[in-house]
């Protein structure tokens, strides 16, 4: 059965699943999760807790395209370590050991040609290697037959108090209007700055706004800085700049369950069923996976906008000529080709 013969709920295949940020968001938007691919054991414990019945793959490098269940949408926030400026190390970009896993994702996309693909990464992906890495990604998807669009979203506009900028790349297979319809509103809003507001509502909080009263409890910042993957131990460079303040100048960082909240996950989402004995180790694992995750409401907003586009694509799709096989001419995308037979799963 091909993707287009299915009539039930739309489906999504999740790659680089982490703790299931994409998965939870798409499920909330009415999608079924067909599979999850994640290599990290702690993440897999969290995925197994929330999706015990969903088919699991571990290392994407070992996934065979024929084993991937037929799915309408594929999502993947591939590793950003070789791209992120937050690491303060060298940015090897798509040539790096971890971020080059993009090519593994592209290999599978080329073999299965799902209707819609979404990639997510740090906003700095756009200028990694002087923009050439971003060009490679867009070019690779375009050569496979995808119309491609991208947009940087900040989580603070999606109902969570965290400033987190991430780039989302959307590809729609042979559907020109899809990416723009998914990523962009057709009308301008009135803006969020208080100077533009016509009503009496309070402007949204900024980093400098704080809430609370020392006589009643701690004071919290109204907007948290971007969470990133870090340890529970203070090593001088890995602490958040977001603090909860107590009288006499005492401060603490956000707790793991508070980090869950500002990423839009339910409380205790990252508590595994079998707890590691060392609480500090557990906190480090939770901070790390939450810092790597997508903000759930931001993805949910996109997932809801995908549904009508997908519906239109299913109605109008013309099956491709299965004899066509196109090679990507770009030297940085070796061996990735569009099989155009869409026979996965």
Ligand X SMILES: C[S@@+](CC[C@H](N)C(=O)[O-])C[C@H]1O[C@@H](n2cnc3c(N)ncnc32)[C@H](O)[C@@H]1O
Where in the sequence numbering do the catalytic residues fall? 80
- Report, in Å, the least distance between residue 156 CB and ligand X: 18
297, containing H or E segment: helix 296-316
Candidates 139-147, 274-282, 291-299, 325-333: pick the segment binding ligand X (CB under 6 A): 291-299
CB atoms within 10 A of CB 244: 18
| Span near ligand X by CB under 6 A; candidates 18-26, 167-175, 207-215, 314-322 | 18-26
Query: According to CB under 6 A, which one of 162, 284, 292, 339 is a site residue for ligand X?
Result: 292
Shortest Å, Cβ 93 to ligand X: 15
Closest distance of CB 294 from ligand X, Å: 4
Beta-carbon contacts of 201 under 8 Å, excluding residues fewer than 6 positions away, are none
Give the nearer residue to ligand X in terms of CB position, either 99 or 136: 99
Whether 75 and 96 have beta carbons less than 8 Å apart is answered as no
Nearer to ligand X by Cβ, of 20 and 145: the residue is 20
Sign for the CA dihedral angle at 93, 265, 161, 217 comes to: negative
DSSP 174: T
Of residues 111 through 170, those in contact with ligand X by CB under 6 A are none
User: According to the binding rule CB under 6 A, does residue 35 interact with ligand X?
Assistant: no
Among 60, 116, 118, 302, binds ligand X (CB under 6 A): 60
- Only one of the segments 57-65, 180-188, 239-247, 328-336 lies at the binding site for ligand X (rule: CB under 6 A); that segment is 57-65
Neighbours of 314 (CB within 10 A): 16
Based on the shown chain and the rule CB under 6 A, indicate whether residue 259 belongs to the binding site for ligand X.
Answer: no
Q: 10 Å Cβ neighbour count for 167? A: 18
- Closer residue to ligand X, CB minimum distance, 44 or 127: 44
If one asks whether residue 303 binds ligand X (CB under 6 A), the answer comes out as no
Interface with ligand X (CB under 6 A), residue from 37, 119, 223, 282: 37
When asked if residue 18 is in the footprint of ligand X (CB under 6 A), the reply is: yes
Q: Which residue is nearest to ligand X (CB)?
A: 18
Q: Which of 16, 10, 14 is nearest to 24 (CA)?
A: 14
Is residue 310 a contact residue for ligand X (CB under 6 A)?
no
Closest CA to 115 of 273, 199, 3: 3
In the complex with ligand X, which residue's Cβ is closer, 101 or 112? Answer: 101
Q: Which residue in the set 294, 298, 306, 313 belongs to the binding site for ligand X (CB under 6 A)?
A: 294
From candidates 13, 26, 38, 338, binder to ligand X by CB under 6 A: 38
Q: Which residues contact 157 (CB under 8 A, 6 or more apart)?
A: 192
Is 122 or 313 the residue whose CB approaches ligand X more closely?
122
DSSP assignment string, 236-292: SSS--S-EEE-GGG-EEE--HHHHHHHTTPPTTTT--SS--S-HHHHHHHHHHHHHH
C-beta of residue 38 within 8 angstroms of C-beta of residue 315: no
**CB within 8 Å of 78: residues ≥ 6 apart:** 15, 16, 99, 101, 102, 105, 119, 121
Q: Which of 10, 12, 21, 68 contacts ligand X by CB under 6 A?
A: 21
Lookup result for tokens 């509502």: 201
Return the number of the residue (224 or 340) whose C-beta is nearest ligand X: 224
* Cα–Cα distances in angstroms (integers) from residue 214 to residues 210, 220, 221, 224, 242, in the given order: 12, 10, 13, 19, 17
Question: Footprint of ligand X on residues 67-86 (CB under 6 A)?
Answer: 77, 79-80
In whole angstroms, the minimum distance from the beta carbon of 179 to ligand X comes to 20
State how far the Cα of 119 lies from the Cα of 231, in Å rounded to an integer. Answer: 26
Give the binding site for ligand X (CB under 6 A). Answer: 16, 18-19, 21-22, 37-40, 43, 59-61, 77, 79-80, 101, 292-294
């Amino acid at each position: 059965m091909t993707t287009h013969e299915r009539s039930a709920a739309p489906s999504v295949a999740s790659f680089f699943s982490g703790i299931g940020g994409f998965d939870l968001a798409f499920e909330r938007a009415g999608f079924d999760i067909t599979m999850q691919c994640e290599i990290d054991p702690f993440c897999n414990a969290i995925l197994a807790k929330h999706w015990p019945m969903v088919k699991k793959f571990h290392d994407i490098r070992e996934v065979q395209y024929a084993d991937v269940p037929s799915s309408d949408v594929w999502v993947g926030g591939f590793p950003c370590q070789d791209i992120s400026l937050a690491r303060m190390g060298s940015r090897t970009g798509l040539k790096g050991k971890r971020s080059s896993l993009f090519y593994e994702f592209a290999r599978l996309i080329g073999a299965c040609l799902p209707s819609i693909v979404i990639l997510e990464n740090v906003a700095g992906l756009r200028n990694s290697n002087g923009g050439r890495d971003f060009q490679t990604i867009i070019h690779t998807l375009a050569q496979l037959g995808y119309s491609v669009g991208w947009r940087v979203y900040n989580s603070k506009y999606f109902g969570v108090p965290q400033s987190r900028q991430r780039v989302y790349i959307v590809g729609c297979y042979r559907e020109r209007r899809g990416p723009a319809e998914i990523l962009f509103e057709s009308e301008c809003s009135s803006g969020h700055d208080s100077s533009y507001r016509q009503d009496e509502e309070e402007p949204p909080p900024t980093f400098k706004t704080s809430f609370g009263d020392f006589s009643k409890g701690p004071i919290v910042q109204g907007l948290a800085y971007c969470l990133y993957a870090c340890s529970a131990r203070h090593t001088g460079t890995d602490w958040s700049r977001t603090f909860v303040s107590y009288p006499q100048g005492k401060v603490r960082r956000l707790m793991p369950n508070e980090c869950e909240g500002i990423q839009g996950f339910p409380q205790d989402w990252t508590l595994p069923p079998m707890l590691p004995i060392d609480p500090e180790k557990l906190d480090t694992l939770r901070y790390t996976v939450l810092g790597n995750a997508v903000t759930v409401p931001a993805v949910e907003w996109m997932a809801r906008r995908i549904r009508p586009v997908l519906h239109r694509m299913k109605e109008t799709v013309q099956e491709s000529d299965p004899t066509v096989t196109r090679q990507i001419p770009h030297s940085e995308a070796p061996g990735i080709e569009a099989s155009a037979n869409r026979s996965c799963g």
